[in-house]
Structure 1
């Protein structure tokens, strides 16, 4: 089970004397590391690269189970129990696949350059993802993740920008790659993770595999499946080409809300320092099990899987359907459950409905149990309660398999009430972290015993932090009672810059190697940091006040469980904000039906659309947004005054979300221009009536 080191909750960071400069605070560090940041894994200082990390684990845990997945039974159309490959078995597959890829590139394609080229990987989390990436580390290649949710245009950009000759993809992406092959002149080989097997011959029948191979040949593309490349590597083994710590291990493309993605250059040293930093706060045991569903194309999923690999523990991949994730958890029984607020909010909503929101005796007992456990937590008496755990919460824990000891959340704010409810419901440590792709997802984190929610803790052992003035938003390092400003990070986990992008590199990283995050925060008297705003995407309202819509959206989403998605907009010629919101069906339907008296199911899209159009429902929804805004400390001009409800979700496919699920503001604004204008018109019509 994960073990956490104790920390002084009253001093979670310290400002180093003599480090203040004009317009900035001093440098804040973890109290135990004021004399120097962590630069290596202290228990294994010889590990300097991902290659050495995995070789170390293979030598120690060769016979232990490592990668697990649930095979699909085509006859019953169900997923079976987890099957496992050991560390030793995976090592053999990495050797074979990596050798096969090297043979393809050098002999079959005629490319004599043996290192520093890029291998593309495009799939959901699965064993072949790890094997493909680790093969890059065996032969000093650069892995490039193609997001599962990237559209064709972005895939085209990344493959061409990173000059990728070989793409490894799950079977469902092969046709898309072939369809766009004419726009990908550098791509010469596609490797399907799924078998391209010819079925038994039927007179007159043509298999899908044969069609794909013929299509690829017509495009000048060589198409193989994973087992064919492994067989090729077994026949033509290659000598390892171990990387150096400062070599780039991966390009991780971060998608912005405008413009093309930026290729963050992650070095082997960045990965190792991230693992080292996490190891100083938490020990993962070889007996632990991770459920891996956070996209491996994103940094959080990537470094957590790497930490598990170093620890000799097990990685169980979800079967691909996020809506059925809890089914995987019950089957796997993980001890470590990383997540993001959007998922935790949904789990919270379901638990509340089944416990404190339940009718009759069940609801009454649950409310007493929750109140008792929350009182214990807030008094610093821990997560467990002998009576209420036995009566209620031991059953609740089974929703995640019954063995979860640690949950980690990040990427966006999470409401205080959600955080504490999950802590007492599952009886496990729930920590909230802060980081970015540029910092390997590693920067700040709350302590395991923290019982005061609403912040992201202090710096990790390998990171130092400072706050820099943002005069245009009136945030200053001299503010009282606490310093405020843009969060800047430094340490061995910070990337060296963006691939082929000097402009963005220069803007984000200064000459002293500080990464300027664009996030605004303050540090309190305990040394805890709280994120309060965002420097980018700000606009000025008619009354002269600056507004950061992302901050408002985060506040509302974290505190109103009716919201699935929300877009806050303000016109510079107007003095009020309006919003477009997609309601969360599971909470919105009973809420709206209670107002209208209508009977609508949570899967009845037409019925939900009718509920969205009801004026009484919109008004009640707006009041819930107001409550959330007050709870989140929004200022008067930051409150939304009108809302349009819709069932048309913002998606990557319709161009309104980035692949990392951030709102593309110009696109959403343009799409809902008519509704926005109508809301502002309604506000203007209401203003004269209000004066009468």
Structure 2
């Protein structure tokens, strides 16, 4: 019994040992397989990294050297770091020319010309970039060809819907039909026919514009800030028979003061029966835009393309006093202007796969030039939905690569970010670190949006503008240096700032690729040359590189419509257009705008202010003895220094039980409110626009006089001296309004 038990136990132990040996052998095999898999995985990963990251040929040697698990871990870290660096490695912007020598200097008059076109000194200015695109009619057809009938005009019905598009060939066909329809309705083809457009940016605006060019007619844009009186003046001056209107509201605004020459309104959207009847009573016919298009399809009149020298548009400036002035521009003027700008973009030039957001008014030349440059290159233009407060929603949906901008928009973005980061110490610290890092890169000519700081701090700003912006053109009004720096850092795209006028089809100078130093508006563009002339009354001298900016070139306008006197005042006998702006040449050949020859200035939103006109209205107030209206191009509103009428104010104060000297009364809130309310009521009564009304005032007890240096011997205000004297008070008012 014992022997049998012992035998069984020996067999069990033997079998257990055999099983354990087999299990151990199996485990060893599995471990060997796992090691082989890890080794193969590491080798595959290394091969991938070698291919992806610039063929790092020493990876295998490094793997063999370090060996083991620790080596694999080290390799993973090295590979990850290498991958991130190579993917986000910064590259320096190519300089188009030395940054300290950006314009050529010619002749005793110290005329500056573009380095892109040395023949400018001989009067051979750039007229166009392509021989098959010398008019806006030809430019659009070139875009259709090189884009292979690509996307052209985009819009969306509401904020919860995507953008929809019409392509180039469809746009051209519709434009031809609309133009043919207008001819069928009795409008003669040719440059003697003027057609108005009074609408917000939309596809129909561009279709109508091209329709006008198909038959060599002249486009005259109208816009809200002109006001109904100015619109009526324009329609009458050009003897306009047809205006293409957006909607019922704009139709009624024109009907309020419709001149007898106006016979037809072509409305893009539906119009109420009451409006149609009102128009009929005034002898004006209202027709649908779509009906004109259908009529053109049936009649199919042959096109009559324009020549480069033909008048293209009359763009009325809003004016500062009196009626607006009609700036006459030819096809050559407009094509030359945006062709020269395209040269300035360098490696960032427009391409057929670019998408532009359209939100600045098409009635102004800045937007018109930007869009027509896009069409010439076959790019796509998407229109915003009409609410500027929700522009970011449109940009997120459209994802543009190109955008024009104005300081007012960029100021709003800057202020919003500053407000947000000021709420948290951590956010403020990170923001300052990010700005410092990106500014250091800008100084080295590095422009990008894939850095660590972009992902951590600026991603939200970039995505708010669609996340794909690569080029932005800023114009219309001066932009503060700190805002320009912030925008360049935050968006990580090329931002060029220009200076120009409607009389020059927008551009005169423009910053160039590789120059990220703020504080100037760049060298002249290649379609013109620029010189400065003396302004003795303001003590600006050309030999000291300061003076009035004068321009000559293929972008300079033909004159003011039916106004030879103002034309002669602006364009001299040698063809130089005198801008009225005072500039200064920087040592690097770039222009800096420092003053205005006449006492006119532009607010940050682009509106002109004539201070004397406003002062002459406010002085009617019984409480005001003297008034000085002040504004700045970096601010959106105006303020005033007021010297109260001592007798009237003291009488009012006694009646209301307010004691004190005039100095004491000037600091009294009720006195200030009384005077401001009366001034604003006078402004309203005399028709001042909202941006022409002061937003704050400072009461000063001592009158301006010849003795204290604030008046001339002829009793006129010395504006520079008054501004300098009251600088602390002016700055304080703007701080409170911010």
Aligned equivalent of 2:528: 463
Distance, in Å, in 1 between the alignment partners of 2:575 and 2:396 is: 44
- The structural deviation recorded for 1:176 is 2.1
Aligned equivalent of 2:147: 61
Aligned equivalent of 2:60: none
Aligned to 1:312, the other structure's residue is in SS state: coil
Q: Which of 126, 150, 159 does residue 39 from structure 1 map onto?
A: 126
1:233 aligns with 2:285: no
Q: Are the counterparts in 2 of residues 123 and 148 from structure 1 also a CA contact under 8 Å?
A: no
When residues 566 and 220 of structure 1 are mapped into structure 2, their CA distance, relative to the original with a 3 A threshold, is closer
Aligned equivalent of 2:270: 195
Q: Which of 115, 123, 134 does residue 48 from structure 1 map onto?
A: 134
Q: Which of 318, 333, 347 does residue 255 from structure 1 map onto?
A: 318
Aligned to 1:303, the other structure's residue is in SS state: helix
- CA offsets, 1:199-245, max 9 Å, x none? xxxxxxxxx2x323333222222211111110111111111111111
- CA offsets, 1:432-481, max 9 Å, x none? 100100111011011232121110010111111000001010000122xx
1:153 aligns with 2:229: yes
- The structural deviation recorded for 1:366 is 1.7
Aligned equivalent of 1:489: 551
Q: Which of 514, 532, 543 does residue 594 from structure 2 map onto?
A: 532
Q: Are the counterparts in 2 of residues 432 and 446 from structure 1 also a CA contact under 8 Å?
A: yes
Q: Are the counterparts in 2 of residues 432 and 456 from structure 1 also a CA contact under 8 Å?
A: yes
- CA offsets, 1:47-98, max 9 Å, x none? 22111111222233353111011114xxxxx552211110011011101111
Q: Please say which structure displays the higher CA radius of gyration.
A: 2
Distance, in Å, in 2 between the alignment partners of 1:444 and 1:353 is: 33
Unpaired runs of at least 5, structure 1: 73-77, 107-111, 197-207, 538-548, 559-564, 586-614, 619-642, 688-692
Aligned equivalent of 2:407: 341
- The structural deviation recorded for 1:180 is 2.6
Q: Which of 179, 187, 202 does residue 256 from structure 2 map onto?
A: 179
When residues 567 and 220 of structure 1 are mapped into structure 2, their CA distance, relative to the original with a 3 A threshold, is closer
Aligned to 1:490, the other structure's residue is in SS state: strand
Aligned equivalent of 1:311: 377
Matched ranges for 1:492-571 at <5 A: 492-537=554-599, 550=601
1:88 aligns with 2:164: no
When residues 162 and 26 of structure 1 are mapped into structure 2, their CA distance, relative to the original with a 3 A threshold, is same
Distance, in Å, in 1 between the alignment partners of 2:417 and 2:448 is: 17
Q: Which of 296, 302, 306 does residue 368 from structure 2 map onto?
A: 302
* Alignment TM-score, normalising by the size of structure 2: 0.71
Distance, in Å, in 1 between the alignment partners of 2:444 and 2:225 is: 43
- CA offsets, 1:472-494, max 9 Å, x none? 10000122xxx110000111111
Aligned to 2:582, the other structure's residue is in SS state: strand
Aligned to 2:225, the other structure's residue is in SS state: coil
Q: Are the counterparts in 1 of residues 531 and 550 from structure 2 also a CA contact under 8 Å?
A: yes
- The structural deviation recorded for 1:616 is 11
Aligned to 1:432, the other structure's residue is in SS state: strand
- The structural deviation recorded for 1:682 is 7.4
Q: Are the counterparts in 1 of residues 181 and 293 from structure 2 also a CA contact under 8 Å?
A: yes
Distance, in Å, in 2 between the alignment partners of 1:423 and 1:524 is: 22
Distance, in Å, in 2 between the alignment partners of 1:69 and 1:342 is: 24
Aligned to 2:226, the other structure's residue is in SS state: coil
When residues 382 and 319 of structure 1 are mapped into structure 2, their CA distance, relative to the original with a 3 A threshold, is closer
Matched ranges for 1:367-406 at <5 A: 367-383=432-448, 386-406=451-471
When residues 271 and 393 of structure 1 are mapped into structure 2, their CA distance, relative to the original with a 3 A threshold, is same
Distance, in Å, in 2 between the alignment partners of 1:241 and 1:478 is: 50
Q: Are the counterparts in 2 of residues 290 and 336 from structure 1 also a CA contact under 8 Å?
A: yes
Distance, in Å, in 2 between the alignment partners of 1:653 and 1:330 is: 43
When residues 40 and 364 of structure 1 are mapped into structure 2, their CA distance, relative to the original with a 3 A threshold, is same
Aligned to 1:35, the other structure's residue is in SS state: helix
Q: Are the counterparts in 2 of residues 580 and 644 from structure 1 also a CA contact under 8 Å?
A: no
Distance, in Å, in 2 between the alignment partners of 1:139 and 1:653 is: 45
Aligned to 1:465, the other structure's residue is in SS state: strand
Distance, in Å, in 2 between the alignment partners of 1:649 and 1:164 is: 36
- The structural deviation recorded for 1:5 is 7.5
Distance, in Å, in 2 between the alignment partners of 1:131 and 1:653 is: 41
Distance, in Å, in 2 between the alignment partners of 1:424 and 1:647 is: 43
Aligned to 2:178, the other structure's residue is in SS state: helix
1:656 aligns with 2:688: yes
Q: Which of 392, 399, 416 does residue 481 from structure 2 map onto?
A: 416
- The structural deviation recorded for 1:574 is 10
Backbone CA RMSD of aligned residues = 3.7
Aligned to 1:273, the other structure's residue is in SS state: helix
Aligned to 1:149, the other structure's residue is in SS state: helix
Q: Are the counterparts in 1 of residues 310 and 330 from structure 2 also a CA contact under 8 Å?
A: yes
- The structural deviation recorded for 1:8 is 2.5
Q: Are the counterparts in 2 of residues 144 and 251 from structure 1 also a CA contact under 8 Å?
A: yes
Q: Are the counterparts in 2 of residues 581 and 644 from structure 1 also a CA contact under 8 Å?
A: no
1:445 aligns with 2:510: yes
Aligned to 2:137, the other structure's residue is in SS state: helix
- The structural deviation recorded for 1:105 is 1.9
Aligned equivalent of 1:218: 281
When residues 180 and 415 of structure 1 are mapped into structure 2, their CA distance, relative to the original with a 3 A threshold, is same
Distance, in Å, in 2 between the alignment partners of 1:574 and 1:518 is: 31
Distance, in Å, in 2 between the alignment partners of 1:450 and 1:383 is: 14
Distance, in Å, in 1 between the alignment partners of 2:685 and 2:353 is: 40
When residues 651 and 264 of structure 1 are mapped into structure 2, their CA distance, relative to the original with a 3 A threshold, is farther
Unpaired runs of at least 5, structure 2: 1-92, 637-665, 670-674, 709-738
Aligned equivalent of 2:337: 274
Aligned equivalent of 2:114: 30
When residues 379 and 292 of structure 1 are mapped into structure 2, their CA distance, relative to the original with a 3 A threshold, is same
1:9 aligns with 2:71: no
Aligned equivalent of 1:70: 156
When residues 653 and 130 of structure 1 are mapped into structure 2, their CA distance, relative to the original with a 3 A threshold, is farther
* Alignment TM-score, normalising by the size of structure 1: 0.75
Aligned to 2:301, the other structure's residue is in SS state: coil
Greater RCO between the two (CA within 8 Å, min separation 6)? 1
Distance, in Å, in 1 between the alignment partners of 2:164 and 2:444 is: 43
When residues 167 and 566 of structure 1 are mapped into structure 2, their CA distance, relative to the original with a 3 A threshold, is closer
Q: Which of 687, 693, 701 does residue 681 from structure 1 map onto?
A: 701
Q: Are the counterparts in 1 of residues 341 and 510 from structure 2 also a CA contact under 8 Å?
A: no
Count of residues in Structure 1 that have an aligned counterpart in Structure 2: 568
Aligned to 2:244, the other structure's residue is in SS state: strand
Could you tell which deviates more after superposition, 298-307 or 384-393?
384-393
Q: Which of 470, 492, 495 does residue 427 from structure 1 map onto?
A: 492
- The structural deviation recorded for 1:581 is 10
Distance, in Å, in 2 between the alignment partners of 1:351 and 1:484 is: 37
Q: Are the counterparts in 1 of residues 183 and 301 from structure 2 also a CA contact under 8 Å?
A: yes
Q: Are the counterparts in 1 of residues 477 and 633 from structure 2 also a CA contact under 8 Å?
A: no
Q: Are the counterparts in 2 of residues 62 and 88 from structure 1 also a CA contact under 8 Å?
A: no
- The structural deviation recorded for 1:410 is 1.2
Distance, in Å, in 2 between the alignment partners of 1:147 and 1:653 is: 23
